[in-house]
Amino acid sequence: MKHELPQLPYSADALSPVISAKTIEFHYGKHHQAYVNNLNNLIVGTPFENATLETIIKEAEGGIFNNGAQVWNHTFYFLTLSPNPKSEPSGKLGEQISLDFGSFAEFKDKFEKASAGLFGSGWTWLVLNSKGELEITQESNAGNPLRKGLKPLLACDVWEHAYYLDYQNRRPDYLHSFWNIVDWKVVEGRF
């Protein structure tokens, strides 16, 4: 199965000023595309040649896992963002966030702290565990919570290529601005 770079549902400049067109050009157009290209080259002649990304994440190791997970992670991340987002969760997800974190404001604070505190490169995730509880998890490099049996709802990319052109070394500023483009309608649909 040949994997492809998904089309974004917005233009490259649509998320500005939170994420600039230049960052989209590099992050989506070059980094994300490179993961797709690398994965397609690596899976030829392997048991993963016709596997879904989810299967690759759960079963592969090494370069196939790293590139497959990064394709999935980046697609998940980019499709959560919107220039006209629903700015807060409501309904069952909103209730669960309040139950598990105290309030939406407390959740955002904990999520930002987890993202700022992740050493090096990786991802911060809002996930649903097998007990029906929400958790914030950190994953280094290409890590993905699917490997641990968790259901991903929201991801924040904290690799430097996600924010460096716009924020340089100010990861906390990127994280604080991130909420302005998270579309909670998308996240609620995953819940």
Mean pLDDT of all residues in 113-123: 93
Please state, rounded to an integer, the average pLDDT across all residues of the chain.
95
1 pLDDT above the threshold of 80? no
Per CATH, the homologous superfamily of domain 91-190 is Iron/manganese superoxide dismutase, C-terminal domain (3.55.40.20)
Sheet holding 151-157, edge to edge: 134-140, 122-128, 151-157
Does residue 12 contact residue 25 with C-beta atoms inside 8 Å?
yes
Q: Which CATH architecture has domain 21-78?
A: Orthogonal Bundle (1.10)
Would you state the pLDDT for residue 160?
A: 86
Q: What is the C-alpha separation between 62 and 40, in angstroms, rounded?
A: 14
Q: What percent of the chain stands above pLDDT 70?
A: 100
Per-residue confidence band for 12, with pLDDT thresholds at 50, 70 and 90: very high
Mean pLDDT of all residues in 148-172: 92
